[in-house]
Each structure stands twice: as structure tokens, then as C-alpha cells.
């Protein structure tokens, strides 16, 4: 069983660069928007996760750039979560135009740490959520 969410957003002017498409690093920001929405749809907003003292910093990120997207284009990010071993979680992301043309895809891997950045085992409530959905 896998959890997936779909989020729509428009390319901001601030996200364009002089090539006339979006600046590459913003793909990682859009991935983050997808993760945020997926966590909320699972009933555990990431803001709440951090309030419980658990952080999910990235340990790895990968992006493939598949097509241009311009200012004000309406894009969709599809996000899926899967377990990555016993102590990590992988979010897979796909960014598409409204007509399905691909813009970017990729994934991020996240560790679990306490507020000081020390690695921890996924808390039970998180592990349960993951095993149910991912």
C-alpha cells in the first residue's frame, strides 16, 4: 500500500531565471511542497512532526529535468512515500504540466533526527503511519 498526493501550483516569477524557464533548484522546493501535502493528507502534517521533536532532514536528492516550464504555468507535483530500509523514508516526486508533459522527476531520502540533528529511530507513530501507507 502506497500513499500518494497530488498538488497543483503555478510557477512564480521569482522562480524563473534568464533562460526563461524555472531555475533548477526550485524543483527541490516543489518536491517539498509535494511532501508537505502528502504528510497532511496522511493526517500527520510535517509541522506537527517537528512539534513532536522529530526532524526529517534530507540525506540525498536526485532530480531529472525533463521539460521547460514558464512563469505562471500550472504544474502538478505527484508525491509518493516509501520506506527506505528501517530508518529512512523515500519520497518520489513527479512534476507535470496540466496536459501531462513532464517537467521533472526525482526523489529525496530523509533520515529521522531529534531537534539537535542526532539520528534517531523512526518513532512508533511514524513507523506505524509508514507501514500502513508506504
Residues at the site binding a second copy, with contacts judged by CB under 8 A = 10, 12-14, 16-21, 23-29, 32-33, 36, 40, 45-47, 50, 55, 57-65, 68, 70-72, 108, 117
Distance, CA of 39 to CA of 76 (rounded, Å): 17
Q: What are phi and psi of 15, to 5 degrees?
A: -95, -5
Phi, psi for residue 33 in degrees, rounded to 5? -60, -40
* Minimum gap (Å) between residue 12 Cβ and a second copy: 6
Q: How far is the CB of 15 from a second copy (least distance, A)?
A: 8
Q: What's the rounded Cα separation, in Å, for the pair 114 and 38?
A: 21
CA distance 64 to 24: 10
User: 3-class DSSP state for residue 13?
Assistant: helix
- Which residue's CB is nearer to a second copy, number 71 or number 82? 71
| Shortest spacing between CB 62 and a second copy, in angstroms | 5
Instruction: Give me the least distance between CB of 97 and a second copy, in Å please.
Output: 14
Q: Would you give the DSSP letter of residue 56?
A: -
Nearer to a second copy, 29 or 128 (CB): 29
Nearer to a second copy, 1 or 14 (CB): 14
Amino acid at each position: 500500500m502506497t500513499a500518494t498526493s497530488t498538488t497543483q501550483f503555478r510557477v512564480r516569477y521569482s522562480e524563473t531565471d534568464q533562460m526563461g524557464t524555472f531555475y533548477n533548484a526550485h524543483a527541490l522546493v516543489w518536491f517539498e511542497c509535494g511532501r508537505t501535502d502528502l504528510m497532511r493528507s496522511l493526517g500527520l502534517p510535517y509541522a506537527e512532526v517537528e512539534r513532536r521533536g522529530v526532524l526529517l532532514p534530507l540525506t540525498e536528492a536526485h532530480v531529472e529535468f525533463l521539460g521547460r516550464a514558464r512563469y505562471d504555468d500550472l504544474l502538478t507535483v505527484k508525491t509518493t512515500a516509501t520506506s527506505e530500509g528501517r530508518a529512512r523514508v523515500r519520497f518520489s516526486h513527479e512534476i507535470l504540466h496540466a496536459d501531462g508533459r513532464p517537467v521533472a522527476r526525482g526523489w529525496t531520502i530523509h533520515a529521522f533526527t531529534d531537534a539537535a540533528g542526532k539520528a534517531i529511530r523512526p518513532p512508533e507513530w511514524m513507523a506505524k503511519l509508514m507501514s500502513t501507507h508506504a
